Amino acid sequence: MKIILAKTAGFCFGVNRAVNRLDTMIKSHTNQEIPIYSYGPVIHNPQVVNRFKDQGIIIINSLDELEAHPPGKILIRSHGISEVELTKLQNKGFTIIDSTCPYVKKIHNIVEKESLEGHSILIIGDENHPEVKGIAGWAKGDVTIIKEPDEIDSLEFNPNITYTVVAQTTFNIEKYKLILKKLQKKSIRVIINETVCQATVERQTEALELAKKVTKMIVIGGKNSSNTQKLYEICKSQCKDTYYIETIEELELNVFKDSDIIGITAGASTPKNIIEEVISNVRNAKF
């Protein structure tokens, strides 16, 4: 058996930064009367989130929940939040530890600036993803969210205005290119900002190439992790025996053989220890 681990597997820069900041907040927390919050789960990984809950971190999932909690320190996760949410947190007296990924913050700035100049904003991404919701919340005018290439056909565009395009940092790069190709065929003025994170591009490209040359593929990550779901879709397109797991407990080891070449990749919210545990169990399995 041969196991090949993708070089890009595991925490990305933004996730690592947010997790480290929350760890630092816990270690430096001397006044137990002041609670520590995370605005949404710090990452899309249940094991990490539960560890922080056990350490006393309170997760706030919406502005409505704020009413039931006293002000304290609150971490803004790497996905970022809308301007309305940020303002309300400030007005409620929360001490904000802003861990919005710098690449996401850059998109917020583009959307705010370009919309103030009268541009209509096109966001390529999943409207239900917290990052996309946050991005849309910085626009001062019209916003349209596009997830699938076919959606371009049903949209009505105004040839008299300028459209500024941004993308969710973790969006599927191939689908992103297809959407841009369709947009550029329209008789409209479009300003394209390349905002898909380079780390995402590298991770997806590596997963694609790895899946082509293995007999089986394992994708590790939270089931609610958008970037992990995309990795699974990419790998599955090249390797039919692709397994999507959150932890080693979900993996049926009897599907593997001594003759297998096994590729392993992991989403941006997958801790190193979970990846190592999967590798160890697969390597030491008895066939």
Dump pLDDT digits (tens) for 182-224.
999 999 999 999 999 999 999 999 999 999 999 999 999 998 8
Residue pair 73/94 in contact (Cβ under 8 Å)? The answer is yes
- Does this model's pTM top 0.85? My answer is yes
Whole-angstrom Cα distance, residue 7 to residue 190? 35
152-178: per-residue pLDDT in tens? 999 999 999 999 999 999 999 999 999
Whole-angstrom Cα distance, residue 271 to residue 246? 11
8-39: per-residue pLDDT in tens? 999 999 999 999 999 999 998 877 788 999 99
| pLDDT at site 108 | 98
Active-site residue 156, yes or no? no
Residue pair 101/75 in contact (Cβ under 8 Å)? The answer is no
Give all domains of the chain, ordered by start, each with its CATH number. Answer: 2-10+199-283 (3.40.1010.20), 13-100 (3.40.50.11270), 103-196 (3.40.1010.20)
Contacts of 267 (CB under 8 A, 6+ apart): 44, 219, 220, 221, 222, 225, 227, 228, 231
Q: Is the pLDDT of residue 68 over 80?
A: yes
104-142: per-residue pLDDT in tens? 999 999 999 999 999 999 999 999 999 999 999 999 999
Residue pair 85/130 in contact (Cβ under 8 Å)? The answer is no
Whole-angstrom Cα distance, residue 136 to residue 123? 8
| Catalytic entry in 131, 206, 209, 276 | 131
Contacts of 152 (CB under 8 A, 6+ apart): 146, 179, 182, 183, 186
Q: Is the pLDDT of residue 55 over 90?
A: yes
